[in-house]
Amino acid sequence: MKQTRTEAPVAATVRRRQGTAPREDARAQRMDEQAAGSSGEPAGGEGKETSTIKRILLLLQCLVDHPGESAQALAQRLNLPRSTVHRLLATLRDNDYAGHEPGGAFGPGLEIYRMAAKLGGHMPYRRLAEPYLAALSERFHETSLLTLLERRQLKMFHAASGSPDDPMRYNIGLNVLEPLVWGATARVILAYLSPAEIDAAIASSGPSPVQGWTPDSAEITAVLARIREDGHAVTYSHRTPNTVGVGAPFFDAEGQVVGSLGFLVPTFRWERADAAPMIAALREAAGALSAQLGYRAAPPR
């Protein structure tokens, strides 16, 4: 588990590669640029139509990220006159992009929910996760994994992997459904399912692939409680001999577990290295991926 001398946070590394700033920082910058528009005139010679489009897009973001706010609160958040915000809200309401809630509050309209539902089933998890996998493998020189939940069958599959520049790396079988009981990247998903789903997953699982252990419901339930407390999972030779698995979960906008990011590490390297930086980086990356999926609640401790 070798590490480079400089260890920039994984999420920051991914943002640099993508050429993107943190969402809130970028939004703040755009708002500052539009401050001159508080008089209702375009800022910096910008065309009036372009300026209006930007304001509408920023207002849509606020309606999604901060539902239930008044027009006055939205105006303060966007640094715009209340009259301007009322005019933009009227346009959005006329087209079902904004809804007027009781008490004068505003939120997303039905059209926003329709588009979200249509796109939700086609979320490009692999594309979103691959920069994190690359950054994790580059920093720690270990094989990284994206594991996704197949909820209807209560199974999981490895959807993508990051390979280090190292002769000792793992060949990962992708898109093969496997039980949720064995392995860190699977158990860290199982830990955040409902009690009924956990019981069903344990009941349907066979012996562990390497050691041949029979699933013990009481033992697994206790381990899952510890995983929820820690926010990550570590397992030893569950699926691959002489290998340590590490996993951290990520969540969607509804707070439902979607999958995990993880590592496979040869046992001899794990035992002689400090695992804390690897676990912290993995949780950071999973948290950043959750944020990209719209998850806004506090991540697991």
pLDDT of residue 10: 76
Q: What is the count of structural domains for the chain?
A: 2
- Shortest CA distance to 59 belongs to which of 87, 36, 37? 87
CATH number at 258 reads 3.30.450.40
Whether 130 and 273 share a structural domain: yes
State phi, psi for 124 to the nearest 5 degrees: -80, 70
pLDDT digit string, tens, across residues 195-241: 999 999 999 999 998 989 999 999 999 999 999 999 999 999 999 99
- Report the interhelical angle of 276-292 vs 10-18 (nearest 10°): 50
**Rounded Cα–Cα distance for residues 101 and 69 (Å):** 9
Residue with tokens 């001999």: 241
**Single pTM value for the model:** 0.69
- Maximum CA extent, the chain: 72
Is residue 242 one of the residues assigned to a domain?
Answer: yes
CATH number at 106 reads 1.10.10.10
**Rounded Cα–Cα distance for residues 29 and 297 (Å):** 24
pLDDT digit string, tens, across residues 71-102: 999 999 999 999 999 999 999 999 999 998 87
- Shortest CA distance to 251 belongs to which of 181, 175, 189, 199? 189
Band (pLDDT 50/70/90 cuts) for residue 275 is very high
Whether 180 and 251 share a structural domain: yes
pLDDT digit string, tens, across residues 38-81: 344 444 445 666 788 999 999 999 998 888 999 999 999 999 99
**Rounded Cα–Cα distance for residues 88 and 55 (Å):** 8
pLDDT digit string, tens, across residues 100-142: 887 889 999 999 888 877 776 667 899 999 999 999 999 999 9
Q: What is the DSSP letter of 10?
A: H
Element (H, E) at 219: helix 217-230
Find the domain containing 269 and state its range: 125-292
Whether 84 and 129 share a structural domain: no
Whether 59 and 190 share a structural domain: no
Structure tokens at 200: 């069903």
Whether 136 and 99 share a structural domain: no
Whether 213 and 259 share a structural domain: yes
Is residue 18 one of the residues assigned to a domain?
Answer: no
Is residue 157 one of the residues assigned to a domain?
Answer: yes
266: β partners: 243
Is residue 288 one of the residues assigned to a domain?
Answer: yes
Whether 142 and 244 share a structural domain: yes
Strands (E), the chain: 69-70, 98-100, 105-108, 143-150, 155-162, 178-179, 233-236, 243-251, 257-266
**Does the pLDDT value for residue 24 go beyond 60?**
no
Band (pLDDT 50/70/90 cuts) for residue 258 is very high
pLDDT of residue 241: 93
